[in-house]
């Protein structure tokens, strides 16, 4: 629309003036993806936050992603345009609960999915994303690993390691709703399509998929594959990147209802306001940030 066009131009001008970069997760609305300097999965955006040489990061995503950026770059100003954009899964475990687990399983190491609060990361040995969860688990000396908070990702990782995985009982409210029946129905409707799903899906969904990838992993696979059609088992926002990066290919959402409302709270007006006011700002107290940084840095140091 012409309003979007005006906002887009204002954002581009102010971004220069403010020495800001805009990072957007693959689930953001298309208009926001289009104004970003980098669109990616959680791992790519964490790396970008650390590597971009800018004074200000405008993080179009949910709170734990902006927190991770603030932890990695304490000298940068990190703003989250939608102050109330949270990840319900990240709220399914607290730092106190991690400490209780440590007492109950003193020999176990703790792997925290990045979808956690800074306080939970601070209690953990290493972080991971959907793109490197197996590598994070395998990098540890311990034979027992507490994996939190996502039980589905934890069980997925358990398929690839000899270590004993103790998964916490959290889950993503969007991915956990997808069912194996949906995959079977999608295969009947689209017999030539490849089925790509996110590891936050239930084990029964994963069993029926052709491949399991992070959001950006799906984009890379779809572009490189000789196949033309894909069923996509993740949040529907990814379809914008898939269609953009893989022209001529066709993508069907596994579920049209797979919408993360928190990822849709960011719009162009909020991005512009965030650039004008440097608010809502995300900061992490250095005492917590220092411990969380160790866990995140261990993840970033994993071989790529």
Select the residue interacting with ligand 13P from 20, 172, 232, 236 (CB under 6 A): 172
Q: Is 67 in the site for ligand 13P (CB under 6 A)?
A: no
Q: Is 62 in the site for ligand SF4 (CB under 6 A)?
A: yes
Q: Is 123 in the site for ligand 13P (CB under 6 A)?
A: no
State how far the Cα of 220 lies from the Cα of 224, in Å rounded to an integer. Answer: 6
Q: Is 116 in the site for ligand 13P (CB under 6 A)?
A: no
Peptide bond preceding 202 in cis form (omega within 30 of 0) = no
Check the annotation: does 255 bind a ligand.
no
Q: Whose CA is closest to 58, among 86, 35, 84?
A: 35
Select the residue interacting with ligand 13P from 26, 132, 139, 266 (CB under 6 A): 26
Select the residue interacting with ligand SF4 from 93, 114, 186, 260 (CB under 6 A): 260
Q: Is 183 in the site for ligand SF4 (CB under 6 A)?
A: no
Q: Whose CA is closest to 172, among 114, 229, 238?
A: 114
What is the DSSP secondary structure assignment for residue 133, as one 8-state letter? H
Q: Is 89 in the site for ligand SF4 (CB under 6 A)?
A: yes
| DSSP output for 230-296 | EEEES-TTHHHHHHHHSTT-EEEES-TT---GGGGS--HHHHHHHHHH--SB----HHHHHHHHHHH
Q: What is the nearest approach in angstroms of ligand 13P to the Cβ of residue 41? A: 3
Check the annotation: does 176 bind a ligand.
no
Q: Is 242 in the site for ligand 13P (CB under 6 A)?
A: no
SS3 content of the chain, % helix, strand, coil (to 5): 45, 15, 35
Question: Taking each helix axis from N to C terminus, what angle separates 268-277 and 2-18, rounded to the nearest 10 degrees?
Answer: 30
State how far the Cα of 50 lies from the Cα of 57, in Å rounded to an integer. Answer: 10
Q: Is 43 in the site for ligand SF4 (CB under 6 A)?
A: no
Out of ligand SF4, ligand 13P, none, which partner does residue 173 contact, by CB within 5 to 8 A per kind? ligand SF4
DSSP-derived 3-state class of residue 118: helix
The smaller minimum CB distance to ligand 13P, of residues 194 and 233, is found at: 233
**Residues in contact with ligand 13P by the rule CB under 6 A:** 26, 41-42, 115, 129-130, 172, 200, 214-215
**Residues in contact with ligand SF4 by the rule CB under 6 A:** 62, 87-89, 115, 172-174, 200, 235, 260, 262-263
């Amino acid at each position: 629309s012409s309003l979007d066009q005006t906002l887009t131009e204002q954002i581009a001008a102010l971004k220069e003036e403010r020495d800001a970069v805009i990072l957007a997760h693959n689930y953001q609305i298309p208009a926001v993806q289009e104004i970003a300097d980098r669109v990616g999965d959680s791992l790519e955006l964490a790396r970008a936050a650390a590597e971009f040489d800018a004074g200000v990061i405008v993080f179009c995503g949910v709170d734990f992603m902006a927190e991770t950026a603030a932890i990695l770059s304490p000298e940068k100003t990190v703003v989250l345009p939608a102050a109330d954009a949270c990840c319900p899964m990240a709220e399914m475990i607290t730092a106190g609960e991690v400490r209780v687990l440590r007492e109950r399983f003193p020999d176990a190491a703790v792997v925290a999915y990045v979808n956690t609060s800074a306080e939970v990361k601070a209690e953990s040995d290493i972080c991971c994303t959907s793109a490197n969860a197996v590598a994070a688990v395998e990098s540890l000396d311990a034979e027992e690993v507490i994996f939190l908070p996502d039980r589905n990702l934890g069980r997925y990782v358990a398929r690839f390691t000899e270590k004993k995985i103790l998964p916490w009982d959290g889950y993503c409210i969007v991915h956990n709703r997808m069912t194996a029946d949906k995959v079977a129905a999608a295969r009947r409707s689209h017999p030539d399509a490849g089925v790509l799903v996110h590891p936050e899906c239930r084990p029964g969904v994963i069993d029926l998929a052709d491949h399991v990838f992070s959001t950006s992993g799906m984009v890379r696979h779809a572009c490189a594959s000789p196949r033309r059609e894909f069923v996509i088992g993740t949040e529907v926002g990814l379809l914008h990147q898939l269609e953009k990066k893989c022209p001529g290919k066709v993508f069907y959402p596994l579920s049209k209802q797979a919408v993360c409302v928190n990822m849709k709270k960011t719009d162009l007006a909020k991005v512009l306001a965030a650039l004008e006011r440097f608010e809502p700002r995300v900061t992490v107290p250095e005492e917590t940030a220092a411990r969380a940084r160790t866990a995140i840095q261990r993840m970033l140091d994993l071989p790529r």
